[in-house]
């Protein structure tokens, strides 16, 4: 069922944030980076049956425009944006589900403004600095970013998938990233490689602060992500915080690929 959606923009320092609100009830924010509001729409529609659901395009992505398109996107900036959106909605402390880079945003928000959240679910945050082979991983990241910026898009994605330990069917990369592509998708992809990825992957939460937060903090992992890089980073974070990971259906993008099953699990988690 498609719910009624209120769309608007909010002026924040150096940017205008596009956001959407569905439903009524306790506030849940669904946060990605670089994933935009479109990626969360099916899950948001399901949650909106009894929640107010906030989705947004992170700064510089899709409909959220920057004054300076070459500005880097850091977890701290994105967390401040989310804080301003939550203040604007004035709907009380929120549940925040962040996935991938959005999970890093959610963690940065919890660290900086814990009074604005009561539950944070960080789904597969790619925090490379928590891993013992982080220097090798940083070197690999630098390499595939350079490959992308040199114009070899397929080559860059091949290196990315190898480092992430994600196996795709033969020819999948060419189908996904070759030929004619949507110009907005290409623009967002380039921004992710050039201005967002390193700042997200190399951010490190203050673990002492995170352990002492007066909120419910959960680390989510896809059931099908076993052995992948973000499975490793998520388990490392859960171990550092002394919590058990919470499994969700699907893999790194289970919220988008299997929204019905993901919703069922999320509802169960939120009711506990």
In this predicted model, what pLDDT tens digit does every residue of 154-193 receive, in sequence order? 999 999 999 999 999 999 999 999 989 999 999 999 999 9
Domain end, chosen from 165, 197, 229, is at: 197
HSE, side-chain direction, 13 A CA sphere, residue 64: 31
- Looking at the structure, tell me whether residues 209 and 147 fall in a common domain: no
Those residues whose C-beta lies under 8 Å from the C-beta of residue 241, and which sit 6 or more positions away, are 207, 210, 211, 217, 219
Can you give the pLDDT at residue 2? 56
What parts of the chain have a pLDDT lower than 70? Answer: 1-3
- Looking at the structure, tell me whether residues 122 and 75 fall in a common domain: yes
- Looking at the structure, tell me whether residues 167 and 261 fall in a common domain: no
- Looking at the structure, tell me whether residues 63 and 78 fall in a common domain: yes
Whether residue 241 contacts residue 107, with contact meaning beta carbons closer than 8 Å, is answered with no
Tokens encoding 217: 């903090």
Q: At what angle do helices 153-164 and 229-241 cross, to 10 degrees?
A: 40
Whether residue 5 contacts residue 48, with contact meaning beta carbons closer than 8 Å, is answered with no
Can you give the pLDDT at residue 272? 83
Token pair 């201005």 is found at 195
Domain end, chosen from 197, 224, 249, is at: 197
Number of domains in the chain: 2
- Looking at the structure, tell me whether residues 73 and 183 fall in a common domain: no
- Looking at the structure, tell me whether residues 20 and 125 fall in a common domain: yes
Domain end, chosen from 179, 197, 215, is at: 197
- Looking at the structure, tell me whether residues 253 and 232 fall in a common domain: yes
Those residues whose C-beta lies under 8 Å from the C-beta of residue 16, and which sit 6 or more positions away, are 9, 10, 64, 65
List Cα–Cα distances, 79 to 23, 104, 142, 160, in angstroms.
23, 9, 24, 25
Whether residue 220 contacts residue 122, with contact meaning beta carbons closer than 8 Å, is answered with yes
- Looking at the structure, tell me whether residues 246 and 120 fall in a common domain: yes
Can you give the pLDDT at residue 1? 54
Domain ranges, residue 221: 5-132+202-271
- Looking at the structure, tell me whether residues 122 and 145 fall in a common domain: no
Whether residue 130 contacts residue 234, with contact meaning beta carbons closer than 8 Å, is answered with no
- Looking at the structure, tell me whether residues 81 and 169 fall in a common domain: no
Task: Annotate 47-73 with b (16+ C-beta within 10 A) or e (fewer).
Answer: bbeebbbbbbbbbbbbbbbbeeeeeeb
Query: Does the predicted TM-score (pTM) go above 0.95?
Result: yes
pLDDT digits (tens, 9 = 90+) for 59-74: 999 999 999 999 999 9
- Looking at the structure, tell me whether residues 169 and 249 fall in a common domain: no
- Looking at the structure, tell me whether residues 33 and 75 fall in a common domain: yes
């Amino acid at each position: 069922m498609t719910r009624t959606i209120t769309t608007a923009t909010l002026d924040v320092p150096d940017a205008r944030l596009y956001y959407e609100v569905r439903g009524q009830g306790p506030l849940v924010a669904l946060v990605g980076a670089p994933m935009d509001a479109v990626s969360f729409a099916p899950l948001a529609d399901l949650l909106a049956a009894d929640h107010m659901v906030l989705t947004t395009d992170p700064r510089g992505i899709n409909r959220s425009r920057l004054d300076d398109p070459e500005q880097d996107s850091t977890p701290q900036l994105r967390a401040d944006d989310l804080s301003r959106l939550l203040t604007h909605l004035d709907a009380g402390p929120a549940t925040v589900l962040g996935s991938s880079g959005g999970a890093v945003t959610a963690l940065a928000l919890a660290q900086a403004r814990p009074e604005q959240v009561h539950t944070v679910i960080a789904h597969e945050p790619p925090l490379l600095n928590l891993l013992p082979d982080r220097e090798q991983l940083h070197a690999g990241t630098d390499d595939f970013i350079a490959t992308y910026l040199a114009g070899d898009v397929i080559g860059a994605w091949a290196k990315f998938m190898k480092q992430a330990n994600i196996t795709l069917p033969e020819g999948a990369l060419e189908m996904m990233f070759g030929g004619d592509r949507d110009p907005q998708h290409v623009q967002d992809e380039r921004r992710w490689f050039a201005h967002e990825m390193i700042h997200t992957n190399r951010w490190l939460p203050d673990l002492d602060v995170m352990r002492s937060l007066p909120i419910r903090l959960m680390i989510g992992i896809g059931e099908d992500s076993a052995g992948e890089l973000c499975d490793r980073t998520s388990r490392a974070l859960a171990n550092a915080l002394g919590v058990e990971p919470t499994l969700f259906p699907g893999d790194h993008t289970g919220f988008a690929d299997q929204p019905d099953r993901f919703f069922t699990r999320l509802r169960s988690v939120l009711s506990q």
